[in-house]
Amino acid sequence: MGNEATARAAIEAGVQGVFSYPGTPSTEISEIFSTLSSFDVDAVDRTLHPQYVPYPVYFEYSVNEKVALEKAIAFSIGHKSALCCMKNVGMNVASDALMTVAYQKIYAPLVIIVCDDPGCHSSSNEQDSRHWGRMASVPLFNPAHPEDAYQMTKEAFLLSAEIQLPVIVRLTTRVSHTRSTVGYNGIQLNQKPGAFKRAPVQINIPARNADAHQQLVDKVHSEKFQRYFWNNNSLTSSSSSNLYGVISSGVSAVYLEEVLSRFKLQQRVATLKLGLIFPFPEKDVLLFLKQGFKYVLILEELEPVIEHQVRSVAQKNNLNLKIMGKGFSNLERTGEYSISIMTQVISDFMSLSLKEIKKPLQGLNDLVSNLPQRPPTLCVGCPHRATYYVLKLVIPRTDEGPLLCGDIGCIGLGALPPLKMLDTVNHMGMSIPMAQGLSEAIDHQHPNGVIAIVGDGTFFHSGIPALLNAVYTKANITVIIFDNRTIAMTGGQDHPGSAKHQGTHNVEIEGLVRGVGVESVSTVDPFNVKQMFSTLKEAISHQGVSVVVAQSPCIKIDSPLLPDRSQMKVVVDHNHCSTCFHHVDKTHPCSQLCTPSSGLARARAKIAAGIHLPAKDQSCPANICNHGFFNSILAGDYSTSLAIIRDNLLFARTCGDICHRPCEGDGVNKVPVKQLKKYVSSIEDNFNDFTALDKRIKETERQHHSVAIIGAGPAGLSAAYDLLLQGFSVTLYEKEQSAGGLLKFAIPDFRMDKGGYETEIQFLATHGVTFNFGHALGSEITLDGLLADYGAVILAIGLGRSLLLDQVEKALPRHHKYSAVDFLRQYNLGLIDLRAGSTLIIIGGGNSAIDAARTAKRIDQNNRVILSCLESREAMPAFDQEIAEALEEGVELITESEVNNIEAGDDQNFSLTLKNTLTGKTITTLNGHYLITAIGQSGDPDSLTGNHGITVDKEGRLPGDPSSELSYDHPSGNRAGALFVAGDIASGNHMSLIGAIGSGKKAAIGVRRALQGYQYEYEADEPLQALNSRQSHGMDSTHALKWEEQSPDQWSGDISRFDLYQPCERCNHCIDNFGCPSLVKVNGKVQIDQGTCTACGFCIDVCPNNAIKWAEATADISPVALS
């Protein structure tokens, strides 16, 4: 290989010290010397290798190219032969030393190898480093192939010794990495001792410089170069008349030779190949040009360095010829040349039509366009991926989030998808300066700061002065040093922070950072997700300079695998990967999106939250996916959040207003589902956007059967909704003149948004549900009739009758008394007309009593409202929050009391005595104007008379589970429609909004079973049943009020402390946001490619479905076995 040939040449030339910094395409050169310097001489078997010559050479990978060259210069001033090698941009770092050493003297040869990268395969730019020759006035060789590299490097050492100047050998990728056969010579040990001789020339001061400069100019124009021109430039001549001459240098000469040979044009073209190009061989070029060509072509990649010199020679000597260079044919200043480019150029130059001998393939385009890209990516098991991932969890990648200033090296790969965690990458070392500069420039607009991301190698190379500057100028930045204990991208070389070679000393980064003045610094293992998360969070919010060292060895040089993990492997459990918690009824996919941000929200909750709740701990009796709903809110996607509710529940806003929130338990450490539901449905754009539902209904296959529902209260309406979404044709029969049931008539409007409820109900009407108002069961319609006409009938007529107290009924005339439901109904219709400042006494401890009490207060603040109930405060059936609000509003509460005596007074009032239920003692006597009885409801038996075989219990309710068919004797004995019951009329139904909704949904399941062959039970039956067993007082009022007081942006910070988790089907998170190459998605499930997996186990922390696990390495877990 070209690089190997170069190293060999240096050894044969007697090099004694090699100083380098790794950089593609030069790295192989320094690696040879690195191997040499750590070679165990004594281990060599001399009988096997008789030619072995121990060759001690001093070698170091210096901290950067500047120090490398400086040390190399020092070596040669100390009389020892030195070599310094680097990549193209490394020369820029070292250039300060180069520019001034030329003004002084070196005492042993110093050769500098610089490797350019035309085509920019792995560099920050494709600069043309040949300019350094002229810039610094030092000789520069430009080899074309490995043999040249060998030859010219040897010549360079000779030349450098002769003129006592450094000499540059400039390679390119296609020379460095080309292999061909090179003959080499013997090695002789160079044992010249080092020394230092004092002399004025060793001291560089301005006074000496004018002379020194002139001496330098004279030096590079010396006749001594002639021999070297002769040795390193070569001519071929043509036999025919000298029309065409070509001057070339570098790999272009190789392509030229190949093309001329292929098309047999050698005899027609004279060529001059230049190897030593600074000083420029003017005499030789002039001699060549004077052969009388008509056309001269200059071939060199990148800049027209030689071309300009040739033109200058031609002009100075008044030569009349056409010179073609950059811009002619397809000769560009950018990129590499190739055989095909060369063929075209020669064609154009010589006006020939050179065709390819080999016939190219036709019609390729379809097969090669749009192929998936394969950019380089962080390796499997790379700790940087872990650090980037955790950073992704910590900071939002939005316009308001921090800016990420990256650097070159493996960390630069973090810019690519799926990580996409960099905003800037420039040249090596720019991360920290960019961060502090940008922070200064835009700080007032970007309060969330700027973060610099730099690798450990780059940090030692050029990060320290930049960090010092940040401390010195009081910058406000965070620096994350991605410390993988090596210079990774170039193949794993050491640096001071990971000194492993003999003769090197390790310098710990953290101590260094403190020494530079940074007070906030910590070292963390990237694979410890939680610790890295909290450390990064703290560092980013810190004011001033903070540093986090994310430290774990590069997977290519060392594995951090703990010993007991080596017998384990990582596997994906397909029962959890992209699997929905709801295991039934896949007729419609849920509305959860599968996007990187939704996955990220769930994954962030897994790591960042303090409270982890399995979603079944907050199950909804209406079967809403609370998990999907909550995580959409975490992801900031409020419209999807509402859509997820509406997958199962139409009454989002209504529940958001008045649900008694059984899913929230005592409200401590549970997600405030109701408040969030209220919030997302309060966003008018969301609320009024039914397009997803429209689409779903349109796409649903229509069912043949039709269903009748008697009663358009929340239970009946919920059943109608579910059946509509399944494609049934639904007709609602309602005795009132509008739909809504008790919710509409008996809940006061200050408790819920009646307009919203109406809109929600209207959805049904506009999507094909038929409403027949003024149709009461028992008169206008009968069960017999309906069951004959419909495939199924759901009885959801509710409890229409208010229970009354005999005492009250007997004692008071009509205008003094109300039932609670009546009172509220009249209030809602605007028909209440009370005396101003009256006293209202309410008997009852349930929700209706409270509603009536609060309504009474609202009618007139001066009304005195007293509520008397049998129960103690704790045992009152009303919801705790409601009671608290009533008391706050001035309602007086007398618990454990019952009516002892009532006496009607004059027309205006009555007196009522209350006694203690336990002791019987009189509590008080009240003078009231109105009395409201709120002791409960019962079914109206009249509506069910004449309906065969239906038994009603003593409360007027029907027994049976809503999803089970009620047995019914149809008069004709024929098989008729199936009968179901839902809502308050069903015994066992919990008397709450969500209870009614769940009941209606359950009845719909029953219908589907009967008519559609639906196989499954109602999925939310458990939380629905649990409504009865709980105290169901609802959330402790203090917590409820706390959530309601805050505004959404206040509680959005707060809700991030919750993780409501369960497996989710809409998940592509590990692929979208983490992207380890071993994670592969096949047929909707992720698999781990065991062939490439390094078992670091990090993906276990990544998966928000908890689908990735450890398993015994020997376990046979094929994808089939898992599912």
Binding site for another protein (CB under 8 A): 24-25, 121-122, 145, 173-174, 177-181, 254-255, 257-258, 261-262, 338-340, 356, 358-364, 367-368, 370-379, 410, 413, 417-418, 489, 491, 556, 1068, 1071-1072, 1075, 1077, 1079-1082, 1087-1092, 1119
- In angstroms, what is the minimal distance from the CB of 345 to another protein? 13
Q: Which is nearer to another protein, 366 or 874 (CB)?
A: 366
- In angstroms, what is the minimal distance from the CB of 1 to another protein? 8
Cis peptide before 418 (omega within 30 of 0): yes
- In angstroms, what is the minimal distance from the CB of 36 to another protein? 19
1108: β partners: 572
Q: Which helix (H) or strand (E) holds 927?
A: strand 922-928
Q: Which is nearer to another protein, 281 or 409 (CB)?
A: 409
- In angstroms, what is the minimal distance from the CB of 12 to another protein? 20
- In angstroms, what is the minimal distance from the CB of 123 to another protein? 8
Backbone angles phi, psi at 961, to 5 degrees: -85, 135
- In angstroms, what is the minimal distance from the CB of 412 to another protein? 10
- In angstroms, what is the minimal distance from the CB of 1094 to another protein? 12
- In angstroms, what is the minimal distance from the CB of 341 to another protein? 9
How many CB atoms within 10 Å of residue 235? 12
Q: Are 118 and 126 in contact (CB under 8 A)?
A: yes
Q: Which is nearer to another protein, 385 or 1033 (CB)?
A: 385
Q: Which is nearer to another protein, 820 or 1079 (CB)?
A: 1079
Beta-carbon contacts of residue 361 (< 8 Å; ≥ 6 apart): none
- In angstroms, what is the minimal distance from the CB of 1040 to another protein? 42
DSSP 493: B
- In angstroms, what is the minimal distance from the CB of 456 to another protein? 17
Amino acid at 853: A
Cis peptide before 376 (omega within 30 of 0): no
- In angstroms, what is the minimal distance from the CB of 361 to another protein? 5
Q: Which is nearer to another protein, 595 or 828 (CB)?
A: 595
SS3 483: strand
Q: Are 748 and 855 in contact (CB under 8 A)?
A: yes
Q: Which is nearer to another protein, 268 or 556 (CB)?
A: 556
Which residue carries 């001329």 as its tokens?
A: 260
- In angstroms, what is the minimal distance from the CB of 702 to another protein? 33
What does each C-alpha distance from 75 to 26, 105, 577 come to in angstroms?
21, 12, 62
- In angstroms, what is the minimal distance from the CB of 553 to another protein? 16
- In angstroms, what is the minimal distance from the CB of 1122 to another protein? 12
Exposure on the CB side of residue 207, measured as CA atoms within 13 A? 3
Which residue carries 């043949």 as its tokens?
A: 704
How many CB atoms within 10 Å of residue 404? 25
Q: Which is nearer to another protein, 121 or 704 (CB)?
A: 121
Distance (Å, whole) CA 443 – CA 1035: 44
- In angstroms, what is the minimal distance from the CB of 177 to another protein? 5
Q: For residue 1060, give both structure tokens.
A: 């409501």
Q: For residue 929, give both structure tokens.
A: 């104007």
Nearest to 967 by CA among 955, 980, 956, 957: 980
Q: Which is nearer to another protein, 31 or 423 (CB)?
A: 31
Backbone angles phi, psi at 1059, to 5 degrees: -125, 105
Cα torsion 576, 577, 581, 583: sign: negative
Nearest to 90 by CA among 557, 490, 554, 509: 490
Distance (Å, whole) CA 836 – CA 859: 9
Q: Which is nearer to another protein, 953 or 1089 (CB)?
A: 1089
By the 10 Å C-beta count (0-12 exposed, 13-18 middle, 19+ buried), 1027 is classed as buried
Q: Which is nearer to another protein, 484 or 1087 (CB)?
A: 1087
Nearest to 1077 by CA among 485, 419, 550: 419
- In angstroms, what is the minimal distance from the CB of 181 to another protein? 6
- In angstroms, what is the minimal distance from the CB of 1020 to another protein? 32
Q: Which is nearer to another protein, 838 or 1078 (CB)?
A: 1078
Kindly report the three-state secondary structure assignment for every residue of 841-892: EEECCCHHHHHHHHHHHHHCCCCEEEEECCCCCCCCCCCHHHHHHHHHCCCE
Q: Which is nearer to another protein, 347 or 909 (CB)?
A: 347
Beta-carbon contacts of residue 366 (< 8 Å; ≥ 6 apart): none
Q: Which is nearer to another protein, 102 or 489 (CB)?
A: 489
By the 10 Å C-beta count (0-12 exposed, 13-18 middle, 19+ buried), 766 is classed as exposed
Q: Which is nearer to another protein, 58 or 1110 (CB)?
A: 1110
Nearest to 820 by CA among 931, 967, 716, 924: 931
Distance (Å, whole) CA 240 – CA 541: 78
Q: Which is nearer to another protein, 356 or 1112 (CB)?
A: 356
Which residue carries 């990728």 as its tokens?
A: 173
Distance (Å, whole) CA 1116 – CA 395: 40
Cis peptide before 959 (omega within 30 of 0): no
Nearest to 818 by CA among 837, 844, 857: 844
Q: Which is nearer to another protein, 54 or 417 (CB)?
A: 417
- In angstroms, what is the minimal distance from the CB of 339 to another protein? 4
What does each C-alpha distance from 220 to 139, 171, 249, 282, 304 come to in angstroms?
7, 21, 20, 12, 21
Q: For residue 517, give both structure tokens.
A: 């003045």
DSSP string, 748-772: -TTTS-HHHHHHHHHHHHHTT-EEE
Q: Which is nearer to another protein, 386 or 410 (CB)?
A: 410
Q: Which is nearer to another protein, 144 or 548 (CB)?
A: 144
By the 10 Å C-beta count (0-12 exposed, 13-18 middle, 19+ buried), 370 is classed as exposed
